[in-house]
């Protein structure tokens, strides 16, 4: 009896269940990354802001711009909201109006889908080299505004090569540091021969899941694409039906608007511009720095640029518990100044604790103390992961899945929070601009723990 055609979701699930690939052993990946680091010349050096080659401060506004008119700018904004302990603030923000491509190419080996992953250097990452998608490029990069080498494998994602599209959606980037920045997150399949490159390797989704348990191996851009993988719908019984979740999220978007107006970077209140940095006068939040970069395996082997450097280690966590036998996570409807719709679903806790240390206990992020106090027995997943290393310097976050048990909120979560299943989050991710980048990282980690049977 025929069971019918195997769906793409089932094929991806098989890849997620395959712990060892046909091309490279999982235990060899970290060693291989070390070999790629030693095989190329990498250097990142802090430099004065006015010594960044190709960049200048606009005479009228102080905004930092690239002389080509491409890439991105650093500008100022004033944000106003009716919620939270701080209702009005001003800050620098990255404006990058072009949509980049984050794409993973997949191909079958021995009947199992493998992902082509890149050992990519990003100046803000620690370590510098991490596993990125097959293509991780801004439009300025792949249209070669920099006049450098062509982005490898780009033809698979721009229509020049025949592929099957398995996933394709636009997703937001960090809403606190980017102004309405989106990337196309896509997964495409080829059955043709793929040219081999020394800085790339083929891994199953199961191997990548195992590597997600290591600190700073799988980069942010890979994690957001992995969150878009259309795995089979488990038919889980959710506490809240999808239609109810949709109504709740739209109501939160209407209720929690953030009004943003542009300001000259030189005029934002509370920020000081020095020779090497733009800092907040309190010493909190982040600072803008300039770096000079050398990278032997990039399309351009040397360049300068500004980076945002946060102050302190971030904490990104979902509280989780089983409801009716099905694992749920506590998602937050979080407003951020740089998001397209002001509000997207976020982790239960998403913050840098040092930024709230000066506030009264009632103004600290809800559930932060519970997450920080969690014992080993309650932590289902923990690893430190980098944020986007092409724009942020040393922006690491401690990523956690914490069993709430009886100490967490009940079925009636506080205002602004809802218990959702992984399947519900996945469906919302595939719609685009519904789940923020930190929650997408945790969804990839949640799927990794499910693959490990936790």
Query: What is the per-residue pLDDT across 59-108, written as a single tens digit (0 to 9) for each?
Result: 999 999 999 998 999 999 999 998 888 899 999 999 998 899 999 999 99
Residue 146 has pLDDT above 80, yes or no: no
First vs last C-alpha separation in the chain: 35
Give residue 420's pLDDT band: very low, low, confident or very high (50, 70, 90): very high
pLDDT of residue 222: 98
Give residue 39's pLDDT band: very low, low, confident or very high (50, 70, 90): confident
Residue 360 has pLDDT above 80, yes or no: yes
Say if residue 391 carries a ligand binding annotation: yes
Stretch 399-427: mean pLDDT:
93
Mean pLDDT value across the chain: 94
Give residue 145's pLDDT band: very low, low, confident or very high (50, 70, 90): low
pLDDT digits (tens, 9 = 90+) for 167-183: 999 999 999 999 999 99
Q: Please state the pTM of the whole predicted model.
A: 0.95
Residue 388 has pLDDT above 60, yes or no: yes
Say if residue 285 carries a ligand binding annotation: no
Say if residue 351 carries a ligand binding annotation: yes
Say if residue 352 carries a ligand binding annotation: yes
Say if residue 142 carries a ligand binding annotation: yes
Stretch 437-446: mean pLDDT:
98
Say if residue 228 carries a ligand binding annotation: no
pLDDT digits (tens, 9 = 90+) for 200-231: 999 999 999 999 999 999 999 999 999 999 99
Say if residue 389 carries a ligand binding annotation: yes
Say if residue 421 carries a ligand binding annotation: no
Say if residue 204 carries a ligand binding annotation: no
- For the chain, which domains are there? 8-453 (3.90.79.40)
Say if residue 269 carries a ligand binding annotation: no
Say if residue 138 carries a ligand binding annotation: yes
Ranking 37-41, 314-318, 347-351, 380-384 by mean pLDDT, the lowest is: 37-41
Residue 5 has pLDDT above 80, yes or no: no
Residue 4 has pLDDT above 60, yes or no: no
Ranking 15-19, 119-123, 408-412 by mean pLDDT, the lowest is: 408-412
């Amino acid at each position: 009896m025929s069971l019918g055609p195997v769906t793409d979701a089932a094929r991806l699930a098989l890849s997620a269940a395959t712990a060892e690939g046909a091309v490279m052993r999982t235990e060899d990946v970290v060693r291989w990354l070390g070999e790629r680091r030693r095989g190329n010349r990498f250097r990142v050096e802090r430099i004065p802001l006015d010594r960044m080659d190709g960049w200048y401060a606009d005479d009228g506004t102080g905004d930092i711009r690239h002389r080509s008119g491409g890439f991105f700018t650093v500008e100022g904004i004033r944000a106003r909201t009716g919620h939270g302990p701080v209702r009005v603030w001003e800050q620098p923000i990255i404006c990058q109006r072009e949509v980049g491509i984050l794409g993973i190419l997949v191909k079958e080996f021995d009947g199992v889908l493998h992902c082509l992953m890149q050992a990519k250097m990003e100046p803000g990452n620690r370590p510098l080299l991490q596993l990125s998608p097959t293509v991780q490029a801004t439009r300025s990069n792949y249209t070669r505004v920099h006049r450098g080498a062509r982005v490898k494998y780009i033809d698979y994602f721009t229509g020049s090569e025949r592929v099957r599209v398995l996933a394709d959606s636009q997703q937001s980037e960090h809403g606190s540091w980017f102004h309405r920045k989106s990337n196309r997150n896509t997964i495409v399949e080829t059955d043709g021969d793929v040219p081999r490159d020394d800085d790339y390797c083929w891994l199953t989704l199961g191997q990548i899941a195992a590597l997600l348990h290591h600190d700073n191996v799988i980069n942010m851009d890979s994690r957001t694409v992995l969150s878009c993988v259309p795995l089979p719908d488990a038919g889980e019984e959710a506490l809240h039906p999808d239609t109810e979740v949709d109504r709740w999220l739209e109501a939160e978007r209407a209720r929690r608007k953030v009004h943003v107006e542009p300001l000259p970077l030189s005029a934002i209140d509370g920020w000081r511009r020095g020779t090497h940095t733009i800092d907040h006068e309190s010493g909190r939040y982040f600072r803008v720095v300039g770096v000079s970069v050398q990278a032997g395996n990039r399309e351009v082997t040397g360049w300068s640029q500004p980076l945002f450097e946060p102050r302190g280690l971030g904490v990104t966590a979902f509280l989780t518990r089983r409801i009716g036998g099905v694992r749920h996570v506590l998602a937050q409807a979080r407003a951020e100044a740089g998001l397209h719709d002001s509000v997207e679903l976020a982790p239960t806790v998403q913050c840098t604790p040092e930024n709230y240390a000066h506030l009264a206990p009632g103004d600290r992020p809800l559930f932060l103390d519970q997450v920080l106090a969690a014992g080993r027995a309650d932590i289902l997943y923990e690893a430190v992961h980098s944020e986007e290393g092409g724009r942020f310097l040393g922006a690491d976050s401690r990523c956690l899945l914490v069993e709430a048990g009886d100490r967490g909120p009940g079925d009636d979560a506080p205002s602004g929070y809802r218990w959702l299943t992984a399947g519900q989050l996945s469906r919302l991710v595939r719609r685009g601009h519904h789940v923020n980048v930190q929650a997408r990282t945790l969804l990839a980690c949640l799927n990794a723990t499910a693959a490990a049977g936790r």
